[in-house]
Amino acid sequence: MMKKATAEEAVAVTSVFWDIKMFPVPPGFDARRVGPCIKRLLEKYGYFGPLTINAVGLLTDVHDDILGALSSSGINTYYGPFGASADIMWLFYEWTQKNPPPTNILAICDRTGLRPTREFNIFGPFSYSSPRYFRQEDAINWISLILAESEAVGEDTCSETGEYFCSICYRYDHPGQGFESFKRHLSSLEHTRKKLALLHPRREMFEEDPTIVRFQPEASFFVFGFNIDF
């Protein structure tokens, strides 16, 4: 069960950090409705402050139709090369610099990616099966939760457009530039070169054309010992 908001937390800004690969959009589900489902879930537990939802991870592994639908419903999309945990920790740090307490953070992600703190209200969408490690049943619980909320939300969607960010190139696209522009960036030579330099620095030294390199950047060489209570 999710943590209920106090009177102060009820009106504070809320940011959602969502690992879109670990906790995927339910198969066949209209991705434009994920945002309204998360908003309704938060309101059920008393969170009514301004809301920002950030989908984080290796976005190139997520279907373009899903990313486009999320973006068109006001969800920010962040490309991160390390999966999500390390990228979310970095985003969390940036967020806390810009949003002093009281703020709320809904962490739909591996909790080892966030620094523990008593200043910020950090909580999960439900009680995870393990206090530290991701388990497949958590992803199943997430899908069940979204499907249950969607029955109450109905066909509601949001017409806002989200922002786009590539953490390798430190490139920010404002909503007006559109999802297609961001998609082109993720397949560009400039982005590919920087990705290779970051994830495979020795390999890049010997490759003239990085576009011929085939790899799956399932990087997991960052280990964080942080733990927070959910």
Cβ nearer to Zn ion, comparing 156 with 204: 204
E strands along 43-158, which residues? 51-57, 76-79, 103-108, 121-123
Cβ nearer to Zn ion, comparing 23 with 164: 164
Distance CA 40, CA 26 (A): 17
- Least distance from Zn ion to the Cβ atom of residue 175, Å: 18
Query: How many chain residues are in contact with Zn ion, going by CB under 5 A?
Result: 4
Cβ nearer to Zn ion, comparing 134 with 164: 164
From candidates 67, 70, 153, 168, binder to Zn ion by CB under 5 A: 168
Nearest to 23 by CA among 144, 129, 142: 142
Whether residue 153 contacts residue 37, with contact meaning beta carbons closer than 8 Å, is answered with yes
Distance CA 122, CA 14 (A): 10
Distance CA 201, CA 172 (A): 24
- Going by the DSSP 8-state scheme, the letter that residue 25 receives in this structure is P
Q: What is the residue whose two structure tokens read 């537990």?
A: 45
- Least distance from Zn ion to the Cβ atom of residue 200, Å: 15
Question: Counting Cβ atoms within 10 Å, is residue 167 exposed (0-12), middle (13-18) or buried (19+)?
Answer: middle
Q: Which stretch binds Zn ion (CB under 5 A): 57-65, 82-90, 169-177, 199-207?
A: 169-177
- Least distance from Zn ion to the Cβ atom of residue 52, Å: 21
Determine, following the binding rule CB under 5 A, whether residue 169 of this chain makes contact with Zn ion: yes
- Least distance from Zn ion to the Cβ atom of residue 82, Å: 14
From candidates 2, 166, 196, 228, binder to Zn ion by CB under 5 A: 166
Cβ nearer to Zn ion, comparing 10 with 169: 169
- Give the Cβ contact number of residue 127 at 10 Å: 12
Q: Which stretch binds Zn ion (CB under 5 A): 23-31, 135-143, 161-169, 200-208?
A: 161-169
Cβ nearer to Zn ion, comparing 132 with 184: 184
Angle between helices 136-153 and 34-44 (to 10 degrees): 90
- Least distance from Zn ion to the Cβ atom of residue 83, Å: 16
Cβ nearer to Zn ion, comparing 21 with 32: 21
- Least distance from Zn ion to the Cβ atom of residue 171, Å: 5
- Least distance from Zn ion to the Cβ atom of residue 95, Å: 20
Secondary structure of residue 103 in the 3-state scheme: strand
Distance CA 76, CA 53 (A): 6
Contacts to Zn ion from residues 184-203, by CB under 5 A:
191
Chain contacts with Zn ion (rule: CB under 5 A): 166, 168-169, 191
